[in-house]
A and B are shown apart, each in its own frame.
Chain A
Amino acid sequence: MLAKRIIPCLDIKDGRTVKGTNFVNLRDAGDPVELAANYAQQGADELVFLDITATVERRKTLAELVKRVAHTINIPFTVGGGIKTVDDVSVLLNNGADKISINTAAYNNPDVITDIANTAGSQCVVLAIDTKKEEDGEWYVYLHGGRTKTETKCFDWAKRAVDLGAGEILLTSMNHDGTKAGFALDITKQLSENLPIPVIASGGGGKMEHFADVFLQAHADAALAASVFHFKEIEIPELKHFLQQRNLAIRI
């Protein structure tokens, strides 16, 4: 059986991990490569690196980081943040990234999804969607890290992205992100059950039970979280045993 995936996410700025981390055994908790290796060791199924660097040097710094990660860890990893063109993608893939994640740039220029899929394959295109449930009860797409609202509904954009060639959807609920109150089960379920590609749920995972809920109730293919792993509020081996006991297919 195909296993449900557990994916820690690392936010990167100028080649370093930002947000705090609480890894006692690491010499340098800010080094993304060391953190990544630690997560791989603990049984993470994949990793996501999200680059939030704004400087002009960022592409070079990121490419160097990707190369170091690829030479260190033996599980797949996705790199996102500021990717706009096929050339941006080529640099990252040539340095060893397995997939790229694209968000605002894809919304503004949907053809780039097709361009990347045609050059590198759909399997490496992860479409990230930040979505928020409004008072009308509908989920809308937000851009620019959640700062800009659009009038597009989340499901419509996700469906169109699939047709354009996206290989996976990374769905972050802004209503749930940072709350540790559980994932957005309704929109995750809608996408998981109606799209022919895998859906990664993100935002709100605070307890092990939340991960079980998003897999069992919302049928997510993977679940992503950051600080609960960084601060060791949830340990990956413990989480995976917990999920396995709930009769989920989990790689131990």
Chain B
Amino acid sequence: MNLAIIKYNAGNIQSVLTALERLGVNAEVTDDAEKIKTADKVIFPGVGEASSAMKSLQHTNLDKVIKELKQPVLGICVGMQLLCEYSEENDTTCLGIVPVKVQKFSAQRSTLKVPQVGWNTIYELRSDLFNDIQENSYIYNVHSYFAEDSEYTIAKCDYGLEYAAAVNKDNFYGVQFHTEKSAGIGDRIIQNFLNL
């Protein structure tokens, strides 16, 4: 399989590549539009800040490339948030592929610590991405922003409020949690994505 990991100005790309290598899957980290367009599957990772990540994508025209992709695409963490319409993080217009808003955990919305760091459970799973994954499985999270629950939600999580732990629209999938660091459950979700 020809697997591309989108290279741009965001952290955590290495750990996604490492996770794939651990699973015996070869992938290429690239910002080459042709390679991304012709890949069988595309992973869109990210840790960092939304507006600078968007600027980095626009600078290399990858924003347009991503929107036109037809093969399965998996956004992880900030990668998922960038697939959405808008992020409160520095008032950022995102790619607008999944029409939901990304909001910040705050004292008004939740009394818990921000960022959410650690293992939490996902439920109401409804996607092939979660084949053989049990309801209320634990996954690893590190984030201050969340995508609101909507018709595109394919998994929910609760951190003081209910939010979309995963989204799907057409060929685009996004997971808020770090599937590459979520033990056997995470490995299985990556495998499910590769099997789509």
Contacts and interface: CB of A to CB of B under 8 A. Distances in A.
Whether A associates with B in a native complex is yes
Contacts of B180: 74
Interface string A39-76: 01000010000000000000000000000001110111
Contact of B21 (A1, A71, A95): A71
Instruction: Pick the 9 closest A-B CB pairs, nearest first.
Output: A251-B138, A3-B119, A251-B119, A123-B142, A70-B18, A96-B18, A76-B181, A2-B120, A198-B117
B112 A120 contact: no
Interface in A147-206: 167-168, 196-198
B79 to A, nearest CB: 14
Interface string B103-138: 000000000111111111100000000000000001
A3 B114 contact: no
Query: Which range holds the interface residue count of chain B?
Result: 20 to 34
Given A5-B118, A98-B181, 17 more contacts: A1-B120, A1-B121, A2-B119, A2-B141, A3-B138, A45-B118, A70-B18, A71-B22, A74-B187, A75-B181, A93-B14, A96-B15, A98-B15, A121-B48, A167-B117, A197-B117, A221-B113
B19 interface: yes
A168 B113 CA distance: 11
A70 B15 contact: yes
25 contacts: A2-B112, A3-B120, A3-B138, A5-B119, A40-B183, A45-B118, A70-B15, A71-B22, A74-B180, A74-B181, A74-B183, A74-B187, A76-B178, A94-B14, A96-B14, A96-B18, A98-B15, A98-B181, A121-B11, A121-B48, A121-B49, A123-B115, A167-B115, A197-B117, A221-B117
B contact patch SS: mixed
A122 interface: yes
Interface of B: 11, 14-15, 18-19, 21-22, 47-49, 112-121, 138, 140-142, 158-159, 178, 180-184, 186-187
Interface residues of A, number: 30
A65 to B, nearest CB: 14
